[in-house]
Amino acid sequence: MPIPSIKLGEALARGAPHAREVALALGVACETSGFCYVTEHGISDDLLNAQFALARSAFELPSRVREQVVQTVTATAPEGGALHHVVDQASGASEVLTLYECFEGGAGPVPPWSHAQMRAYVHAMLRLSRRLMQLVALSLELPEHTFDELPGEAVSVLRMLRYPPCAGVQAHTDAQALTVLAQDHHAGLEVQMDDGQWLTVEPREGALVVHPGDALSRWTRGRYRSRAHRVRSTAEEPRLSIPFFYSPGGLVQ
């Protein structure tokens, strides 16, 4: 089963004439492969490239400096915000930098990372994720604003992941409603199909990967698939990926 590609384009605007057509394509992808590529998504190449450059510079910092940055971000973040750094020795020493709500409030600049870049990227991903959830609502024949009106604050998490050569991550599903993933040019992400086979989600220039998580699967009673996926990196140099996890209505499980 090939992974479909969906062009968002004008459907990024609420009330666009062909938004329902795009929404139906998104719904079919969520029901079948569970993964899709999205293009014309409104995130500029410049912003994506700058975010990957920032991730590379962050992981290249000496560990002592990186931990100081982590502590400073968490100390200055708004309530609920934090930056975590984890080295997963069990999976081949992959590294994860996770930002929890850090750039919704007033955390100050944290050299040597660009606060302006992080804020711009997070806000762009929030806009895209909210619009995708509106299209999901249309695909379910619900009012476009259904998920916007769920009780509680939306939950968003940004991660920057670095996989050294031959490192990976075991099969798992994502807890949130929706994942929007930016990949570098190294393949490694695989999704499990109904027959148990693993399908490689090849990186595509200018495309983001979108897939439902556990929350959306529960809300649709399993109609939209939260598929198991894993990382099996065979690249000769580190692989970077930047997933953004989003759930509207933080009080809804």
SS3 content of the chain, % helix, strand, coil (to 5): 35, 25, 40
Is the pLDDT at 108 greater than 70, yes or no? no
State the pLDDT confidence band at 80, using cuts at 50, 70 and 90: very low
Determine the average pLDDT of the residues in 73-82.
49
pLDDT of residue 111: 46
Q: How far apart are CA 21 and CA 189, in angstroms?
A: 28
Q: Which residues contact 44 (CB under 8 A, 6 or more apart)?
A: none
**Percent of the chain clearing pLDDT 90 (strictly above):** 53
CA triplet 236, 173, 7: central angle to 5 degrees? 75
> Distance between CA atoms of 122 and 130, rounded to whole angstroms?
12
The pair of three-digit structure tokens given for residue 128, joined into one six-digit string: 């895209």
Residues 6+ apart with CB under 8 A from 134: 14, 144, 145, 147, 148
pTM above 0.75, yes or no: yes
**Complete domains list, the chain, with CATH:** 5-247 (2.60.120.330)
Give me the residue label for tokens 């619900």: 142
Question: CA–CA separation, 168 vs 108, rounded Å?
Answer: 33
Confidence category of residue 67, pLDDT binned at 50, 70, 90: low
Residue 183 has phi, psi (to 5 degrees) of: -115, 150
- Structure confidence at residue 236 as a pLDDT band (50, 70, 90): confident
Phi, psi at 59, each rounded to 5° = -75, -20
The two structure tokens encoding residue 72: 């400073």
Average pLDDT, rounded, for the chain:
82
pLDDT in tens, 164-211: 766 567 889 999 999 999 999 988 899 999 999 999 999 999 999 999
- CA pseudo-torsion sign 163, 235, 246, 124: positive
Handedness of CA 82, 43, 110, 55 (dihedral sign): positive
- For the chain, how far is it from start to end, CA to CA, in angstroms? 30
What is the b/e burial string over 211-223, where b = at least 16 CB atoms within 10 angstroms of the residue's CB? bbbebbbebbeee
Q: Which is nearest to 115 in space by CA: 27, 123, 46, 207?
A: 123
- Contact indicator for 97, 159 with CB cutoff of 8 Å: yes
Q: What is the DSSP letter of 10?
A: G
